[in-house]
Amino acid sequence: MKKLTIISILSIATIFACKTTSGGKNEIVVMLQPKSDTQVSGSATFTEKGGVVTFEANIQGLTPGEHAIHIHEKADCSAADASSAGGHWNPTFKKHGKWGQGEYHKGDIGNFTADEKGNGTITFSTDEWCIGCGDETKDITGKGLIVHKGADDFTTQPTGNAGGRVACAGIIK
């Protein structure tokens, strides 16, 4: 009987650690703030369902071409250049790289392309993130989302040589 009670308590604790909506999914929507004297704006949604987090972002005001987007250590966008968000989120202490190929930070989302009007979108899904689960190696809450001026080269350590930070949002419930 003790084992059943402990399992029940752990199950209840797990359910409340990751708040879910009535549809069985957990969601955070963030608004990107312009940084580094740009006009970049947009929104991003993180949705967790069935142990997979899907990230979708719509960004405006960019220069046409490729841009990097990463999760950074802190949900602090207070600095004019977003340096207050810290470096890339890297809870497993890996080298910077391309997601799914060799070593990479958990925050190394990758690149997306802005069209001739400066609009870009990106969608990304992974089971290596969670929303509010408390696992320091997976939990994206309390982190920062950064859009960079240029593309990630997936090689330069530790940032990918993606250039300045043109937009920032805190990933906060």
pLDDT tens-place string over residues 86-130: 999 999 999 999 999 999 999 999 999 999 999 999 999 999 999
In a domain, 4, yes or no: no
Residue 148: active-site member: yes
Q: What are the DSSP calls for 19-46, one per residue?
A: ---TTS-EEEEEEEEE-TT---EEEEEE
Which one of the listed residues 67, 72, 139, 152 is annotated catalytic? 72
Is 66 within a domain? yes
Q: What is the CATH number of the domain that holds 138?
A: 2.60.40.200
Residues 22-47: pLDDT tens digits? 456 799 999 999 999 999 999 999 99
Q: If you search the block for the tokens 């802190």, which residue do you land on?
A: 74
pTM of the model: 0.86
Domain tally, the chain: 1
For 151, the domain range is 21-171
User: Would the pLDDT of 5 be above 80?
Assistant: no
Whether 8 is in a domain gets the answer no
Choosing from 67, 139, 152, 165, the catalytic residue is 165
Q: Decide if 104 is inside a domain.
A: yes
| Residue among 67, 96, 139, 152 flagged as catalytic | 96
Active site residue 67: no
